[in-house]
C-alpha cells in the first residue's frame, strides 16, 4: 500500500495542534497552539425597560475601539431622588468564558440589585486567550475609571449621575472576576484620582481565583508575562507592596469547602488580617459545596446564603 507523505504530515500537524494545554470540562479546552474551544455557547439575557419590572437593565459602551462595555442594573425606585449604593461587579469564567450579558451573571446581579436596592454595574471585559492577560485587568480598570467619571454628576450616563451614591461604593466579583476586582482596588488605592478611602465601603471576593497548582499553569498560559509564582501580586496579593493603600474599609471573602481554589483564598484571608492594610476582614465558608455552586444551581438552598450575605453587606 502506498502512503501519501502529505497525509502523514497533515496527520502529524493535526496531532501537534490537538495537544491540550488545559481543560476545564464542561466549559472549555485550551490547546497548546493557542486555540480555545468553548464548550458552551453564550446564553445572553435580554435587558428590560418594562415600567413594571423589578429591575431595569441596559448595556453601555465604554470604549468603542475595544468593545469594553458595562451592563447597568437599576431597581424600581420609590423615591426618584434617593441615591443608591453603587455595586461594581466583575464576572468570573477563568478569564476565558463568561460575559456581563450571560444569563447566569445577569440573573445574579439583577437579584442583588432588587433585594439590596443598589445600582449595579457589571463589567464586560475582553477574554483570553484571544486577548492575553493582562488585557482583562486593563479593560476592567478602564471601566472603573469610566464609572468614577460620574462621581461629580456630570458623566455620560444618566443612571449613574442621578442615582449612584459615590460615597458608598462596593467592588467585587466571582472567581477570576474577584481576582480582577482586587487588582482594580489596588490600582484605585494607588491612583491620584482615587485617594479618599471613604469612597469605597467594601470589597467582596466570591470564590476568588488566586491560583493553585494547576491554576498557576493556566494563568501562565493566559498571561505569558507572568512568573505564575508567589512574586506575582495578582496570584499572591499579600506580596504586593501597594497593598497598604487598598482603599476600602472592609474585605469580605466568600469561600466553599470543596472549592479547588479554597486554599489560596484562605491563605490570603489570613495574610490580609496581619498585613499593613488597615481595615476589617471577614470570611464566610459554605460547607459541603464547590466552586460557584450558587451560580451553577441558583435554586440550591445554600445559594441564598451567599446572596443574603452580600445584600446585608451592601445595606448595613
86 sits in which H/E element: strand 84-90
| 291 carries an active-site annotation | yes
Question: Of 19, 43, 47, whose CA–CA distance to 33 is shortest?
Answer: 19
| 175 carries an active-site annotation | yes
Q: Which of 207, 259, 275, 294 is catalytic?
A: 259
Q: Which of 91, 131, 291, 294 is catalytic?
A: 291
| 163 carries an active-site annotation | no
Helix and strand numbers (H, E) in the chain are 9, 11
Question: Of 111, 139, 122, whose CA–CA distance to 58 is shortest?
Answer: 122
> Helix or strand or coil: residue 159?
helix
49 phi, psi to nearest 5 deg: -125, 20
The secondary structure of residue 128, as a DSSP letter, is: T
Q: How many CB atoms lie within 10 A of CB 306?
A: 23
Joined grid coordinates for residue 128? 483570553
How far is CA 107 from each of CA 44, 88, 99, 216, 315, rounded to the nearest angstrom?
11, 15, 12, 30, 20
Q: Which of 57, 69, 122, 175 is catalytic?
A: 175
Residue with cell 496570584: 235
How far is CA 245 from each of CA 66, 195, 208, 250, 268, rounded to the nearest angstrom?
30, 9, 20, 13, 16
User: Any idea which residues carry the catalytic annotation?
Assistant: 175, 259, 291
Amino acid at each position: 500500500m502506498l502512503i501519501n507523505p502529505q497525509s502523514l504530515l497533515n496527520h502529524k500537524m493535526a496531532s501537534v495542534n490537538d495537544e491540550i494545554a488545559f481543560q476545564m470540562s464542561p466549559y472549555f479546552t485550551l490547546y497548546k497552539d493557542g486555540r480555545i474551544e468553548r464548550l458552551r455557547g453564550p446564553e445572553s439575557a435580554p435587558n428590560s425597560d418594562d415600567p413594571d419590572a423589578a429591575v431595569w437593565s441596559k448595556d453601555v459602551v465604554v470604549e468603542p475601539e475595544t468593545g469594553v462595555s458595562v451592563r447597568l442594573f437599576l431597581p424600581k425606585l420609590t423615591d426618584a431622588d434617593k441615591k443608591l449604593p453603587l455595586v461594581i461587579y466583575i464576572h468570573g469564567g477563568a478569564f476565558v468564558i463568561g460575559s456581563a450579558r450571560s444569563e447566569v451573571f445577569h440573573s445574579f446581579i439583577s437579584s442583588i440589585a432588587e433585594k439590596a436596592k443598589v445600582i449595579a454595574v457589571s463589567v464586560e471585559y475582553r477574554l483570553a486567550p484571544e486577548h492575553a492577560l493582562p488585557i482583562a485587568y486593563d479593560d476592567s480598570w478602564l471601566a472603573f475609571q469610566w464609572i468614577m467619571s460620574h462621581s461629580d454628576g456630570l458623566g455620560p450616563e444618566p443612571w449613574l449621575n442621578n442615582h449612584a451614591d459615590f460615597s458608598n461604593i462596593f467592588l467585587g466579583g466571582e472567581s477570576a472576576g474577584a481576582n480582577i476586582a482586587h487588582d482594580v482596588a489596588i490600582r484605585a488605592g494607588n491612583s491620584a484620582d482615587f485617594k479618599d478611602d471613604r469612597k469605597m465601603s467594601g470589597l467582596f471576593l466570591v470564590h476568588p481565583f488566586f491560583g493553585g497548582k494547576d491554576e498557576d499553569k493556566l494563568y501562565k498560559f493566559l498571561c505569558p508575562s507572568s512568573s505564575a509564582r508567589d512574586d506575582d501580586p495578582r496570584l499572591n496579593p499579600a506580596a504586593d507592596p501597594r497593598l497598604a493603600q487598598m482603599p476600602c474599609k472592609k474585605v469580605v471573602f466568600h469561600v466553599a469547602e470543596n472549592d479547588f481554589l479554597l486554599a489560596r483564598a484562605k491563605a490570603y484571608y489570613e495574610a490580609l488580617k496581619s498585613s499593613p492594610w488597615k481595615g476589617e476582614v471577614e470570611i464566610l465558608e459554605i460547607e459541603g459545596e464547590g466552586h460557584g455552586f450558587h451560580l451553577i444551581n441558583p435554586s440550591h438552598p445554600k445559594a441564598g446564603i451567599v446572596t443574603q450575605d452580600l445584600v446585608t453587606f451592601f445595606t448595613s
